[in-house]
Structure 1
Amino acid sequence: MSKPVNQPISKRLIDNAPWERYCRPYVRDLAYVLACPNVLTQWLDFAPHENTHAVSVHSASFWQAQFEAYEQRLKELDTTTDYQALTRYLLKRPSPNRLGFHFEGLVSFWLEDGFARKLHPYETLANNVQLYNGKQTTGELDLILYNHAEQLVEHWELAIKFFMGSAPFEPVNWVGINSNDNLQRKMTYMQTKQFRAVWVDTENHGQVKIDERYGVIKGRFFLPINTNDCGDYDWPYWLTPSVPIHEWCDKRDTKNLATIDTTALRAAHYIEWFTKRDFYDERNAYDGHQQPIVWADNELPKTGLYFEGSRPIVIYPRQSDQIDR
């Protein structure tokens, strides 16, 4: 599943972060959700023998256009009391502290607020639509939208993923902190389960027929810290070049762990998988200096996200190792 590309993966460590210009944490998160492109340049069909529907993805230019159209509103949210509307919206949603639900809340706020201000053509018809088989719940659909520009009903299924990659960098080789979670498995589930629906019952718009299906998968991907030693693996043709890319380090790799400045290292709080919160730096400082993280000689670093100054890095075990719970 690889195609020729112009540059090896070891030369493509990049991170465009326009969300860093905002001060308020939830505004940063909202800017990140819009400015971050879809992980995918195209949908990959991992269930070709099943009777499934075609799935599309929005291009990086689509999301850049949405960010630019909403940029003035982001400034208002970042500098006025309108911020309270965003915080109230997010905190009233179910399980607002879970990353997936936080992502859904941010997208939903942008859809509703942006449509009301005529900044995009997507009207929310329904969200979190329950699917049933008889009386048994079999799943739910994230967003049912009406695209006024195209006059189409669209089903958007959302996913926020923070995956660590390993050679040969195929979708199955990008895994989460939970090693059972990988990009190929997530896409297969979305296509064979969530995207099977054709007709949807909505509370305020009756029964609607889905015309288009979009997989919205965003997040951060992490390459091995020693990527240059992995060989000349091509950048995957399906992976968007402008997706935020950082590094991860094997927790047993003492050589590369030694290259990390532990005096500038701190463990990230869960919400910082989205965007870094500078006030956590201050809380973790003593006498104006970062409290150094020290690992004993017989102690392995704890799996998770860290910041070396402003640089995100994940400490993670090899895929064959057991994940810390």
Structure 2
Amino acid sequence: MSEPIAQPLSTHLIDAAPWEAYKRPYVRDLAYVLACPNVLTKWLDFVPHQNTHEVEVHSAIFWQMQFEAYQQRLKELDSTNEYQQLTRYLLKRPSPNRLGFHFEGLLSFWLEDGFARNLHPYETLANNVQLYNGKQTTGELDLILYNHQEKLVEHWELAIKFFMGSAPFAPENWVGINSNDNLQRKMTHMQTKQFRTVWVDTEKHGQVKIDKRYGVIKGRFFLPINTKEFGHLDYPDWLAPSFPMHEWCDKDDQLNLATIDMTILRSAHYIEWFSKRDFYDGCQPSFTYDENGTLKTGLYFAGDRPIVIYPTQHDPVDDKYQ
């Protein structure tokens, strides 16, 4: 793995998120999914001695171009009855209230809608392709696409991650609300499971051979709440400089919790891991305590400032976050 390189912290904190310009929640989520860069600038091979295929990532410029090409359509979805197409598409999908499925639905809508409008070259050949070992299901592949520009079949494997980081900010140091989940573990699983597939049976296009593989990992990362007190951080070169960064605080860290304005703090609805819904302001308890008198685990907003209250090891995990 490459050595970390020192970069100013300010380059990693997003002040003006372009998705916040949209009024309708699902349009804002869709804009976020497109405008947010991949967390990775390059794929990291944690299993170099295994017979695995090369995996690539799309650059931040790639996603910026896709967002800009789709902006007019986003405005249309945000201001006309076309919004119903997006909502119907998302809500008819399985488990639309789980964040991972919501992410997949948003990207799938863009892929299908954008291809039909000649806004990108990616035709969806298949999605959620089941993998079997005999009669036993062993997994599935997220997206099989045909890139008409490069004339290649591509496999995109998706992940939406909301990870809390700690020094030295290596991939294993970015962990989820479920402490068993971390970036290194997720990438290793993708590379050794889904990305091993070569041939895929599709319903409408027969059997196709995968030419290229892309890991699409987006979301938000959260730094320790006192990190901004420092002038710079040693950030690894695999971490996209424009990836959305916010703050987390240990639920028992009374010193740093005291720096948060509790008068404006409110717990977030689960879907707000994507984007804040202002209509929830004032509609639920400002913040919630557990039986021990400490803040419950989860995402909170202090005004528009997202803050994660990080759990103890034994806190329960809501499966909507998975």
Q: Same fold (TM over 0.5)?
A: yes
**Equivalents in 1 of 2:91, 2:98: separation in Å?**
11
Q: Residue 9 of structure 1: CA displacement?
A: 4.7
Runs of 4+ in structure 1 displaced over 2 angstroms? 1-6, 8-16, 228-233, 291-298, 321-325
2:70 corresponding residue in structure 1: 70
For residues 134-179 of structure 1, the C-alpha deviation after alignment (integer angstroms, 9 at most, x for no partner) is 1111110000000000000000000000000011100000000000
Which shows bigger deviation, 230-239 or 180-189? Answer: 230-239
User: Number of paired residues?
Assistant: 317
Structure 1: how far apart are the matches of 2:230 and 2:311? 17
> Which of 300, 305, 308 pairs up with 1:306?
300
Describe the SS at the equivalent of 1:263: coil
User: For residues 202 and 274 of structure 1, what CA distance do their matches in structure 2 show?
Assistant: 31
1:253-287 per-residue CA deviation (whole Å, 9 max, x = no partner) reads 10100000011000000000000001001424xxx
Instruction: Determine if contact 1:195/1:213 at 8 Å carries over to the other structure.
Output: yes
Q: Distance in 2 between matches of 1:75 and 1:8?
A: 34
Q: 1:304 to 1:113 in 2, by over 3 A?
A: same
Residue in 2 that maps onto 1:114: 114
Are the counterparts in 2 of residues 201 and 207 from structure 1 also a CA contact under 8 Å? yes
Q: TM-score, normalised by structure 1?
A: 0.93
Q: Secondary structure at the match of 2:34?
A: helix
Q: Would you say the 8 A contact 1:262–1:294 is kept in 2?
A: no
Amino acid at match of 2:244: P
Q: Which residue of structure 2 aligns with residue 160 of structure 1?
A: 160
RMSD: 1.9
Aligned in 2, Cα 1:83/1:229: closer, same or farther, shift over 3 Å?
A: closer
- Distance in 1 (CA, whole Å) between partners of 2:176 and 2:224 is 14
Residue number in structure 2 paired with 1:226: 226
Cα offset for 1:296?
9.2
- The question of whether the paired residues in 1 share the 8 Å contact of 2:267 and 2:286 is answered with no
**CA separation in 1, counterparts of 2:4 and 2:178?**
31
Q: Does 1:239 align with 2:231?
A: no
% same residue: 78
Q: How does 1:31-180 map to 2 (within 5 A)?
A: 31-180=31-180
| Deviation readout 1:7-66 (Å, 9 max, x if unpaired) | 255874334410000000000000000000000000000111110000000000000000
User: TM-score when scaled to structure 2?
Assistant: 0.94
Q: Which runs of 5 or more residues in structure 1 are unaligned?
A: 285-290
Alignment of 1:249-260 (within 5 A): 249-260=249-260
* Alignment check: 8 A CA contact 2:39 2:243 kept: yes
Structure 2: where are the runs of 5+ without partners? 318-322
- Change in CA separation of 1:95 and 1:4 when aligned onto 2, cut-off 3 Å: closer
